[in-house]
Structure 1
Amino acid sequence: MDADPAVLVPALLQAAGISPSEEEVAVMIAEFPSRAAAIESLYAVAEARYEEPDLVFRATL
């Protein structure tokens, strides 16, 4: 992601209506690049892109 975490994280928190402490925001900003990369890696396996996980519960009556 090309966005600056120092801008993006506070904007996302504000949009969500969340008001964490300054220390918590600083940690979120610092960890944002690695978390964003981890999320992107979930989509890296092209063969699994449209598959459902095994842990899908379907209640049928």
Structure 2
Amino acid sequence: FFTRSLQDLPRITVNDVHRIIQATTKTPASKKDKGFKLYVSSYLHNYEGKLSFDLLNAETC
């Protein structure tokens, strides 16, 4: 999304994200870790799959 305000957004770090999540969620830490691992593995799978597809297409040209 774009905003109409031209103010800079505050910098946010990974530690800020962890702090906000722990303060606002009732989900156990083990479930959050599992969800994060699934998210990362899905991202890597999608990236590696696209990369492999691009390499195969480049070899056939």
Shorter chain as denominator, the TM-score bin is: 0.3 to 0.5
Larger Rg, first or second structure (1 or 2): 2
Give the structure-1-normalised TM-score.
0.38
Instruction: Indicate the structure whose relative CO is greater, using CA pairs within 8 Å and at least 6 residues apart.
Output: 1
TM-score, normalising length: structure 2: 0.38
